[in-house]
Amino acid sequence: MTEPLRVVVADDQALVRTGFRMILASEGIKVVGEANNGVEAVDAVRRTLPDVVLMDIRMPEMDGLEATRRILTGSGGEGADGPRVIILTTFDLDRYVYAALSAGASGFLLKDVSPEHLTAAVRMVRTGDALLAPAITRRLVERFARRDSATAAIHRDLAALTPRELEVMRLLAQGLSNAELAARLRLSQATVKTHVARILAKLGLRDRAQVVVVAYETGLVSVGGTEAASRPAGQQRV
């Protein structure tokens, strides 16, 4: 029998925590811990070792961004088989959401999310998928990357990637799905998935959302969607 997914809910509103717990429980997902601030969230994750953390950003004592950094660092770093973090927000283009994605979060949800979307999101990120469509991630990056570059936590040397992998990464950053990538590159979807998996492994990333962020942060793709063809693949923007 498959073990139920284990979730920690961190939000300073008790009503939000209760509502999420009831929704998740109704779908066989177990809430193993709750927290009303970032300090409690980090402690709850260390004690309960959840699969997924639902993390509010604006909380007392320690905000959700710092808590996310500490949780992902404590779980062994980006790319490790630790908990996935989903950011909870009331704003669909909150600048803190971009910072959280840069810190390693796997996506974000609005707090008025439907019960069906909430449970689907938790299951999705546990399998390693990004919660955000690449195009939505791209909107976040385009809006905040240049103005918030000082807080960006992800920088990677892309020299380890093959020319084909760099091409796949550019197209991911433009918002193409696996099916669209396959059609554009005249490859099977299975081959595209293999390329994406290798990009994640080589760069030590958790999911496709981070691939999009890194593509912009390293200058592989520029704000506005133009490829940075003149920049050497291994050169980082600092």
Please state, rounded to an integer, the average pLDDT across all residues of the chain. Answer: 79
* Predicted pLDDT of residue 27: 93
The answer to whether the Cα torsion of 140, 89, 208, 231 is positive or negative is: positive
pLDDT tier for residue 210 given thresholds of 50, 70 and 90: confident
When pLDDT is averaged across residues 41-47 and rounded to a whole number, the result is 95
Residue 105 carries which DSSP code?
-
Looking at the domain 6-131, which fold is it?
A: Rossmann fold (3.40.50)
Same fold flag, 6-131 and 133-238: no
- Residue by residue, DSSP assigns 198-217 as HHHHHHT-SSHHHHHHHHHH
Structural element, H or E, at residue 10: strand 6-10
Domain 133-238 has CATH 1.10.10.10: yes
Q: Give me the mean pLDDT over the 16-27 stretch.
A: 94
Amino acid at 163: P
Of 19-23, 57-61, 116-120, 137-141, give the lowest mean pLDDT range: 137-141
**CA–CA separation, 208 and 18 (whole Å):** 30
pTM over 0.85: no
- Say which DSSP state 113 is in: -
Measure the CA–CA gap between 55 and 92, rounded to whole angstroms.
Answer: 15
Domain boundaries, the chain: 6-131, 133-238
**Mean pLDDT within 93-106:** 73
pLDDT at residue 24 greater than cutoff 90: yes
Helix (H) / strand (E) element for 141: namely helix 134-144
Mean pLDDT to the nearest integer, 31-57? 95
What confidence category does residue 45 fall into, taking pLDDT thresholds of 50, 70 and 90? Answer: very high
pLDDT, one tens digit per residue, over 72-88 is 886 544 445 679 999 88
Distances (CA, A) of 228 to 27, 101, 216, 225, 232: 45, 22, 9, 9, 9
